[in-house]
Amino acid sequence: MELRFDDRVAVVTGAGSNPGLGRAYALFLAARGARVVVNDLGLGGDGSGEHPSDAAAVVAEIVAAGGEAVADGHSVADPDGARAVVHTALETWGRLDILINNAGVCIPTRFDEVDDADIRRMVDVHVLGSIWMCRAAWPAMSAAGYGRIVNTTSGAVFGEPWLTIYGTAKAGIFGLTRGLALEGAPLGIRVNAVSPSAATAAAVNTFEFPEEWRAGFAASLPPESVAAPVGYLAHEVCEVSGTMVDVAAGHVKAVVFGHTAGHHSDAPSIEDVATHVGDVFAATDPVLISDPHDPAAGVRDADGALQPKPYRPGA
C-alpha cells in the first residue's frame, strides 16, 4: 500500500534551492498528498545571497502538479521568525503534523580563519534555528497528540577538514534530536535526524569541484534520492525516534553511538589509566546504541526517581 500524507500539513525549512534537499522533500510530500509550507529566506546555501533561492518557485511547481503549498520567507534563526513560520501553517490549514528542519548555512574554512560573524551565523541557523522551530511546533503537536520532526545533521560531526564549526553545529542538532525523542514519546511526537549526501546547489556553490566530477556527482547523488527515506521518518508509520539515519546514493544506514568494554578500577589513578589505555580503546565487544531509550545509552533515571528542582527562568 502506498504511504501517503493526505490531510497532513508539513513545514519544510530551507526549501527554495534548486537543486536542493528541501525542495526535494517538499515536492515528495506534496506529491503524496501533504499540504506544504515551503520556507526559505532566499539567501542560498552560504547565506550570502550570491546564489539566491526561491520558495515561490517551488510552490509554483507543487501547485502546477496539483498539490497545495504556500511560501514563507521568515528566518528560522530567531524565535519570532520560527513562530511566524509555524503560524503560516496554522493560519493556512489549521494544523501542523510534520516539521523538516532543513535550513542551513555552510561556510567551509579553517578554524583559525573563520570570523566571529560567520561562526554566529552557522550556529544561529543550524542549532538555534532547529531549537526555535521545534519549540514553535511543539505546542501544536502536543495538543494534537501527534507529530513527526526530522532534523538535519551531517557526517561532519565525526570531524572533517574546513568544517569544524559546521560539524559542531550539526552535532548539537543530534543532541537536540535525542533529548526531544525522550520528551516527545509520551506526546506522540517522534523526532529523528537525517545525515544526507546530495548534489545540491549549496554543495556546488560552496566547494570547488573539478569540472570532470560535476556530471558524475549530480548523477550519483540527486537530492530526490534522499526524499523517500526522509518521507518515511515523517510518516505516521515511523515509530523509531531519536535516531540518526545516513542517506547517500541509495544507501540508508543507521548511525549509532557505542562504547567499548573498557577498563574498571575501584581507585583509578593516572598511572592505572596509562597502563590500561589499550583496554579502554579496544574495540572488542562494543555496545552499540541507536535508541536513546536503551538503558545502555546511560539513561540513569529510568524509574523517574530523580526530579528537577522547580524551574526559575533567568535565575
Q: Which DSSP string corresponds to the chain?
A: -----TT-EEEESS---SS-HHHHHHHHHHHTT-EEEEE--SS-TTSSSSS---HHHHHHHHHHTT-EEEEE---TTSHHHHHHHHHHHHHHHS---EEEE---------TTTS-HHHHHHHHIIIIIHHHHHHHHHHHHHHHHT-EEEEEE--GGGG--TT-HHHHHHHHHHHHHHHHHHHHHGGGTEEEEEEEE----HHHHHHS---HHHHHHHHHHS-THHHHHHHHHHTSTT----S-EEEEETTEEEEE-EEE------SS--HHHHHHTHHHHH--SSPEEE--TTSGGGT---TT----PPPP-TT-
pLDDT tens digits for 85-126? 999 999 999 999 999 999 999 999 999 999 999 999 999 999
Catalytic residue positions, numbered: 166
Tell me the pLDDT tens digit for each residue of 144-181.
999 999 999 999 999 998 999 999 999 999 999 999 99
Residue 299: what pLDDT? 59
Domain 9-255: top CATH class: alpha beta
**pLDDT given for residue 311 in this prediction:** 86
Decide if pLDDT at 209 tops 90: no
Rounded Cα–Cα distance for residues 118 and 51 (Å): 17
Q: What is the pLDDT of residues 174-207, one digit of tens each?
A: 999 999 999 999 999 999 999 999 978 777 777 7
- Answer whether residue 271 shows pLDDT above 80: yes
Residue 246: alpha-carbon gap to chain centroid: 11
Mean pLDDT of the 210-222 span: 75
- pLDDT tier at 5 (50, 70, 90 boundaries)? very high
Q: How many CA atoms lie within 13 A of 266 on its CB side?
A: 0
- Asked whether the predicted pLDDT for residue 296 surpasses 80, the reply is no
Please state, rounded to an integer, the average pLDDT across all residues of the chain.
Answer: 92
pLDDT score for 202: 78
Strand 9-12 to 98-101 pairing: parallel
Q: What are the structural domain ranges in the chain? A: 9-255, 258-315
The pLDDT value recorded for residue 304 is 65
